[in-house]
Amino acid sequence: MNQMKEKIQALKREKNAAILAHYYVPEEVQEVADYIGDSYYLASLAAKIKETTLVFCGVSFMGESAKALNPEKTVLMPDTGADCPMAHMAAQDKIKMVREMYEDVAVVCYVNSTAELKACSDVCVTSSNALKIVKALPNKRIYFIPDENLGRYIASFLPEKEFIFNDGFCHVHASLGGEEVKKAKNAWPKAKILAHPECRPEVLKEADYIGSTAGIIDYAAKSSENKFIICTEKGVMAELKKKNPDKIFHMPGRSMCCADMKKNTLEKLVCVLETGENEIHLPEKLRAAAEKPLKSMLELAK
């Protein structure tokens, strides 16, 4: 393992590459990353990195966003088969239909979406900035794609807006039920419940804090409490434990695992650094169209 990590460091220098990783990738991959964070941090950061090659350890929509925002850079992914099923759970035809029905609608697209869906949208959001951005939009009517749970959670703070929801969901977060959270709460009554907004409403109802992966990590680090029940994918446990060695973290039920994120292995990382394979390419017309709502997000989230 150490040999492989040394090899990665040497290859990075040789290829002028930086490694970006999401909190859900395996711990050993997080350990070799130059930058690790939530979707918003990683999307906003890619534009500031001086290296000419970005190796994105995450799922396709993250690599695509990095490429859309940095067309001059080479973006590689350890496994191009690492895809987020929710990213495909909205339809371009439906967006067109909603736009025809409501002239004043803003199509708000969670970044967990394909470049094609982003290209048909007005603005992108992540779980860490969705509320701020949707609130700032002048439009009363919002079509929120693809995640229904995040959309409904945001809508609960904005009674002045009219939301149209889409029935997309994250199968990993949706696998957690309210009963499992209640059981965890009974087992560890003093623990604070921290949940990702992709969870079902019945889970969010039990939560003391709701936020992105980075938000959850930050909340636990700043809290004076020392026990937490973590309702998101198990990859965040690495950073939570690293930042808070004296605090205790539990996961309710069977811990949630995103099989796509786990496709990012050290072996594949070495391979793409060596060969330059798995480069992300977007046709220029699509790239430019997907870049627009991403740039609007970066502007509005400031």
Place of tokens 């895809």: 83
Q: Which of 44, 65, 112, 121 binds ligand 13P (CB under 6 A)?
A: 112
Name the residue nearer to ligand 13P (CB basis): 64 or 198.
198
Q: Is 148 in the site for ligand 13P (CB under 6 A)?
A: no
> From the list ligand 13P, ligand SF4, none, which binds 260 (C-beta under 5 to 8 Å, kind-based)?
ligand SF4
Name the residue nearer to ligand 13P (CB basis): 162 or 180.
180
What's at 290, amino acid-wise?
A
- Edge-first strand order for the sheet with 17-22 is 35-37, 17-22, 53-57, 74-76
Q: Is 112 in the site for ligand SF4 (CB under 6 A)?
A: yes
Q: Is 213 in the site for ligand 13P (CB under 6 A)?
A: yes
Place of tokens 């002239």: 103
Q: Is 147 in the site for ligand 13P (CB under 6 A)?
A: no
Give the Cα separation of 79 and 58 in Å (integer).
Answer: 9
Using a 10 angstrom Cβ sphere, with 0-12 exposed, 13-18 middle and 19 or more buried, the burial of residue 126 is buried
SS3 content of the chain, % helix, strand, coil (to 5): 45, 15, 35
Q: Which of 32, 38, 181, 217 binds ligand 13P (CB under 6 A)?
A: 38
Give the Cα separation of 50 and 55 in Å (integer).
Answer: 13
> From the list ligand 13P, ligand SF4, none, which binds 85 (C-beta under 5 to 8 Å, kind-based)?
ligand SF4
159: cis peptide before it, omega within 30°?
A: no
Binding mask 175-214 for ligand SF4 (x = CB under 6 A): -----------------------x----------------
Interacting residues toward ligand SF4 by CB under 6 A: 59, 84-86, 112, 170, 172-173, 198, 233, 258, 260-261
